[in-house]
A and B are shown apart, each in its own frame.
Chain A
């Protein structure tokens, strides 16, 4: 049991100060911008909720938000089952376990812009391995700089390449925590592979999968660098996800008010969806 001790606050204080410095001050700056108009020279005029209305009604924002949800939905629906399948087929012990884990974790440790650049080189139509293979061996016309569909396939494949390992590592951590006795009992009962998965492995993986899905949701929803380096949001606006659009408005056009309002709406959506995910997935634990 935990003991009640208010002095524990002193232990938390350094963390609180550092994170508050980094989170609250910039957040207040954003809130400040979101309700004002500026023409430079540090002159600010009160605008109220104008920017919020403008953003919520703008088709550009709706389009970017739609693309963002589509992207996040697609990568979740591919990465989670794929990650579980790979974790299930991995060896449980022996020499190959650390080898597999190190090789699988490697993509996650590559700086994000290098991931983008790497996939760019990889997918170039005539000189990249992937681009050459699709165009000249399979004979399918493929150019991610021209064709929106090809661009989408490329960013989805890139994200699957980059982050499926996170799901694998977490699911695997859940799997190795299952005692052998469970499997033996299932064998005696004559359980099929499916029921072993459904009634033993899946419940044991539930907590780690919750973490995996939450992390993948948050990170894919905030993704910026990789698609920006890979496609630059193009062709046209076809792969302009929320963050890319936001940076375009904030740093490209320097429209601080709309950018700030958009940031707050964006952050609120991320929080809301994370909260819904979290509540739905941990519902059973509470009952």
Chain B
């Protein structure tokens, strides 16, 4: 083994330590956690997981989160695809300004928008629905999706479009049956980043929901304060929130590094 491979190994160990601790914690009993320090669970228990999978307020948290994240990803990609195509292929009045303005929305602190969002979505009458959270997350996910997709589309030669038109393809048919399959890696990467940023966001998701669409993260914060200090349960819930991300990341492992970088390297 070469000496320089030590650096990534040490870094990965550093990354894994807090995750290990969370997972180890989730298998301990509350008594053991509060009694003192132990590197491994002494009395191995699955009670915390049993609680989560049998209590509807817990497992509905997960279902709610996955629902709004999926809706958001679908909306973001669906509207970003034609827009990214326009940015990568055409010049039009105000295109550069529009592109920059889209990106500035990525810079808006969520804390700034929490209250106005609450009022806006209440006024429209979709407060506490999955759609509300999905739409709110579009604020930062659409610009990101447009940005990534535009990078990937820029790498596709224009001749592809022109040949298709010469062959008698209409635009919609070309776009759906030729163009999208060509950049499917880009669509995968963009979907991954939309999933990621919608999954990890809490402030807006919590502000825009009360009961019916409450995300798992909000269920966790409520448990932390109301039901005493049930660290084991909290750790188990946290451990379960890592799994969807890990699954998604596995599918795009060969493309993640490209995600932001494509077309700009």
Contact = CB atoms under 8 A, between A and B. Distances in A.
A29 B119 contact: yes
A29 B122 CA distance: 14
Given A129-B21, A173-B257, A174-B261, A103 B242 contact: no
16 contacts: A2-B88, A4-B92, A7-B92, A14-B79, A19-B143, A22-B117, A25-B120, A29-B119, A89-B5, A89-B7, A114-B217, A117-B234, A127-B33, A170-B257, A225-B202, A267-B109
Given A100-B8, A170-B261, A211-B260, A112 B200 contact: yes
A8 B92 CA distance: 7
A257 B39 CA distance: 50
Contact of A208 (B78, B201, B242, B264): B264
A224 B108 contact: no
Contacts of A242: 109
B169 to A, nearest CB: 17
A109 B16 CA distance: 13
Going nearest first, the 7 A-B pairs with the smallest beta carbon separation are: A109-B245, A26-B116, A173-B261, A11-B86, A8-B90, A8-B86, A29-B116
B200 A110 contact: yes
Given A89-B6, A222-B111, 4 more contacts: A21-B135, A23-B105, A102-B253, A121-B235
Contacts of B136: 22
A15 B253 contact: no
Contacts of B79: 14-15, 18
**Interface size class, chain B:** 35 or more
A19 B5 CA distance: 44
Contact of A3 (B83, B91, B248): B91
Interface of A: 2-9, 11-12, 14-16, 18-19, 21-23, 25-27, 29-30, 85-86, 89-91, 98, 100-114, 117-119, 121-122, 126-130, 132, 136, 161, 164-165, 168-170, 172-174, 176-177, 204, 207-208, 211-212, 215, 218, 221-222, 224-225, 229, 242-243, 246-247, 250-251, 256, 259, 263, 266-267, 270-271, 274
Determine which residue in A8, A12, A215 has the highest number of CB atoms from chain B within 10 A of its CB, and name it: A12
Nearest to B154: A2
A112 B231 contact: no
A89 B12 CA distance: 13
B200 to A, nearest CB: 5
Contacts of B102: 15, 19
Interface of B: 4-8, 11-12, 14-22, 25, 33-34, 36-37, 39, 75, 78-80, 82-83, 85-93, 95, 98, 102, 104-117, 119-120, 135-136, 138-139, 142-143, 146, 196, 199-203, 216-217, 220-221, 224, 231, 234-235, 238, 241-242, 245-246, 248-250, 253-254, 256-261, 264-265
A110 B241 CA distance: 7
A65 B120 CA distance: 29
Q: Is the interface of B mostly helix, strand, loop or mixed?
A: helix
B135 A98 contact: no
Determine which residue in B37, B95, B117 has the highest number of CB atoms from chain A within 10 A of its CB, and name it: B37
A14 B261 CA distance: 25
B249 A109 contact: yes
Given A107-B15, A114-B242, A270 B109 contact: yes
A95 B50 CA distance: 37
B160 to A, nearest CB: 15
Nearest to B264: A207
Contact of A106 (B78, B80, B246, B260): B246
A127 B111 contact: no
A118 B18 contact: yes
Given A19-B105, A22-B135, A246-B109, A108 B196 contact: yes
Given A109-B246, A117-B238, A172 B253 contact: no
A212 B258 CA distance: 13
Determine which residue in B112, B136, B265 has the highest number of CB atoms from chain A within 10 A of its CB, and name it: B112
B90 A2 contact: yes
